[in-house]
């Protein structure tokens, strides 16, 4: 007999060799039908896995992220089966679950696979899913695994196996299909009731542009048809709110291949939007005791060798710039923190001076692969609302909590109420990924967890997601499709102060190391604007929108009065413009609605005679006539209400 401990702490005895699914049936047959996968002790297991030792069990259903991951990972296997059925010459590579669905990468050789082929492939997928084939895991020796893929001439799988240790290799079989796999599947293919193959893209093998280009086929699947219908409806909504589409129609930003892919160009309206976001945060930061600094866009390679960034991210940076005569080597700035360390180091500090809080809207550069670039969410040049706090260890808790308050204030002010708080810790099994010693890491991780608990935040823990120099508290915002995007982040770092030999003189007259907090409430301005665009549909809060009002003349003869109104609005710090074109008023109104301008002020003969304006509100229509003074009061009132209810 073995003892199984359930999530509620209850222990039960079962016969050795009982399957996960049978344990679920001991709760109820109805519950067992919902179980997709499980966690036994620290391992993800199948419903068919036989348990032979004592341990703790946790079941996953469709309501759990882990359950969805098993569902979509299993769907990737069915997709691979369908690919080989229709294209037996294709070479399969990898097919993981992703945040919304799954994909499989395949080499189709000289044949081109396109969007037009998805329908036939999807039909074959459905045929295979309906067979209710059971997923079974089996172990394989390295020799047998290599021989299998040599026999079918798949160099991609051979390369993967060569990196694995003998005794750790497993395959997953279902129906007549087998694939190299570490596990994590649903009981059988019949649970996949609805599927949609959504798109086709190119991808380089192992993400390396020097390797073969593969075809990546994306899909999503569900246990119920109504879930797919709901998702497709959301997908249509997301297409309308795609920040790339809105950014173009609202004239916020653009891209140019001549400038370089992944390098956004901000247009006047987009620049106004960015400026207002920066002013908003600078105002809050000034109240919180931050000082603004500016650092250059490049730095000596030695700077990033000292910080450790070159060793960890050198391949993700642009190639070093070599000076022709001096023998120096520079990099486009990938991070702001090494520069801020040198700013701190420019003079001696006493404990009485700390904390020092340096803030900068610093533009950094990362060499993202072309296939991974996506609008503003994945670019090669982006601006971080970066700040670094240098403090004594005794000040760390208070400073960290203050930064949490700042992030929450930013999110509330921008309407981001659907987010996840994630404590990102190191993977202790992979110490080579990190710098510093265990003692410093333990202190940093404990500080983050304690501060987060004391602020009353619900959080999840993810191991292996820490920065190479310290653990993080990440704020992941959901978009209209429910996808998670990391925006705000707060990091505790004992290591860079050590590497840069930063000091302060304590009250004991001895030199001590400060602790460093890295923080960015927006994260990246580019990504922040992208998610803000999609979540609001371009209907920004009134305090933020680049243009709050537009004056629309019925005809040119009322332009003189219209300019008087514009002047009054500008003197009262209301962002407005005048449309005096020789166009119909109907066309002007339609264009203003499309541009999502909150207030349309219509001026004709009646308004000129009465010294007032006729007001239309975006999305609401006509709201009546008001004097210019009443109009200003209305805009100011709504602007104030569009801000956070609290002052920072």
For the annotated catalytic residues, the residue numbers are: 337, 366, 384, 386, 388, 472, 518
SS3 at position 533:
helix
Distance CA 518, CA 63 (A): 34
User: Is residue 243 a contact partner of residue 479, using CB atoms and an 8 Å limit?
Assistant: no
What is the number of helices (H) and of strands (E) in the chain?
20, 33
Of the candidates 466, 475, 477, the one whose C-alpha atom is nearest the C-alpha of residue 424 is 466
Distance CA 580, CA 557 (A): 9
- DSSP assignments along 571-608, one per residue: HTT--EEEE--SS-HHHHHHHHHHTT-SEEEEE-HHHH
Q: What is the per-residue burial (b if ≥16 Cβ within 10 Å, else e) of 402-426? A: bbbebbbbbbebbebeebebbbbbb
SS3 at position 73:
helix
Distance CA 187, CA 46 (A): 7
State the pairing for strand pair 612-617/621-627: antiparallel
Q: How many CA atoms lie within 13 A of 391 on its CB side?
A: 21
Run of H or E including 312: helix 309-313
Distance CA 410, CA 416 (A): 8
- DSSP assignments along 154-193, one per residue: -HHHHHHHHTSPTT--EEEEETTEEEE------SBGGG--
Residue 276 pairs in a beta bridge with: none
User: Residue 187 to residues 26, 76, 137, 173: CA-CA distances in angstroms?
Assistant: 17, 14, 11, 12
User: Is residue 617 a contact partner of residue 567, using CB atoms and an 8 Å limit?
Assistant: no
Of the candidates 241, 334, 247, the one whose C-alpha atom is nearest the C-alpha of residue 529 is 247
- DSSP assignments along 80-140, one per residue: HHHHHHH-TT-EE----EETTEEEEEEE-TTSPP-GGGHHHHHHHHHHHHTT-PBPEEEE-
In the structure encoding, which two tokens stand for residue 120, read together?
Answer: 């036939």
DSSP 8-state class, residue 378: B
In the structure encoding, which two tokens stand for residue 246, read together?
Answer: 């809105």
Distance CA 184, CA 172 (A): 10
Distance CA 479, CA 218 (A): 19
State the pairing for strand pair 177-180/291-292: unpaired
User: Is residue 218 a contact partner of residue 101, using CB atoms and an 8 Å limit?
Assistant: yes
Distance of CA 267 to the CA centre of its chain: 24
């Amino acid at each position: 007999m073995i003892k199984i401990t359930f999530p509620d702490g209850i222990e039960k005895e079962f016969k050795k060799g009982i399957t996960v699914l049978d344990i679920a049936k001991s709760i109820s047959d109805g519950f067992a039908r919902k179980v997709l996968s499980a966690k036994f002790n620290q391992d993800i297991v199948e419903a068919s896995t036989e348990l032979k030792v004592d341990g703790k069990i946790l079941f996953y259903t469709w309501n759990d992220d882990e359950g969805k991951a098993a569902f979509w990972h299993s769907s990737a296997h069915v997709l691979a089966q369908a690919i080989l059925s229709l294209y037996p010459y294709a070479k399969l590579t990898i097919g993981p679950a992703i945040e919304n669905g799954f994909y499989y990468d395949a080499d189709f050789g000289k044949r081109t696979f396109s969007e037009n082929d998805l329908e036939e492939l999807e039909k074959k997928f459905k045929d295979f899913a309906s067979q209710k084939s059971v997923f079974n895991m089996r172990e394989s020796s390295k020799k047998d695994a290599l021989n299998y893929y040599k026999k079918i001439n798949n160099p991609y799988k051979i390369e993967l196996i060569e990196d694995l240790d003998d005794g750790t290799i497993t395959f997953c079989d279902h129906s007549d299909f087998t694939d190299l796999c570490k596990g994590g599947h649903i009981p059988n293919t019949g649970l996949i009731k609805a599927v949609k193959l959504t798109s086709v893209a190119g991808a380089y093998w192992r993400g390396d542009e020097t390797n073969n280009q593969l075809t990546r086929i994306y899909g999503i699947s569900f246990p119920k048809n109504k879930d797919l219908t709901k998702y497709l409806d959301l997908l249509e909504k997301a297409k309308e709110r795609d920040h790339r589409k809105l950014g173009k129609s609202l004239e916020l930003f653009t891209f140019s291949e001549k400038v370089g892919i992944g390098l956004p160009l901000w247009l006047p309206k987009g620049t106004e939007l960015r400026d207002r976001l920066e002013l908003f945060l600078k105002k809050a930061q000034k109240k919180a005791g931050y000082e603004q600094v500016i650092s250059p866009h490049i730095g000596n390679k030695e700077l990033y060798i000292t910080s450790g960034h070159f060793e960890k991210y050198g391949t993700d940076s642009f190639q070093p710039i070599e000076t022709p005569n001096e023998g120096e080597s520079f990099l486009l700035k990938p991070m702001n923190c090494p520069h801020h360390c040198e700013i701190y180091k420019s003079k001696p500090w006493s404990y009485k001076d700390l904390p020092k809080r340096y803030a900068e809207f610093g533009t950094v550069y990362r060499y993202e692969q072309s296939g991974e670039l996506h609008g503003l969410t994945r670019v090669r040049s982006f601006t971080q609302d970066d700040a670094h706090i240098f403090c004594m260890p005794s000040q760390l808790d208070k400073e960290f909590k203050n930064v949490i308050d700042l992030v929450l204030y930013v999110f509330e002010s921008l309407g981001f109420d659907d987010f996840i708080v994630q404590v990102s810790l190191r993977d202790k099994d992979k110490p080579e990924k990190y710098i510093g010693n265990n003692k410093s890491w333990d202190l940093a991780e404990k500080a983050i967890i304690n501060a987060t608990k004391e602020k009353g935040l619900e959080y999840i823990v993810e191991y292996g997601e820490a920065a190479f120099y310290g653990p993080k508290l990440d704020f992941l915002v959901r978009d209209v499709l429910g996808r998670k995007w990391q925006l705000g982040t707060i990091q505790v770092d004992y290591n860079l102060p050590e590497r840069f030999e930063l000091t302060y003189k304590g009250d004991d007259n001895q030199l001590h190391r400060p602790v460093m907090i890295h923080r960015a409430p927006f994260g990246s301005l580019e990504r922040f604007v992208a998610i803000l665009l999609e979540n609001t549909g371009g209907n920004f809060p009134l305090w933020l929108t680049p243009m709050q009002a537009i004056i629309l003349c019925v005809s040119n003869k009322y332009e003189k009065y219209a300019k008087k109104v514009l002047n009054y609005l500008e003197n009262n710090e209301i962002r407005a413009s005048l449309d005096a074109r020789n166009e119909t008023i109907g066309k002007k109104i339609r264009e203003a609605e499309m541009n999502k301008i909150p207030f349309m002020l219509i001026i004709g003969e009646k308004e000129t005679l009465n010294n007032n304006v006729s007001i239309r509100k975006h999305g609401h229509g006509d709201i009546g006539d008001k004097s210019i003074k009443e109009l200003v009061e209305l805009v100011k009132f709504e602007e104030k209400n569009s801000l956070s209810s609290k002052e920072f």
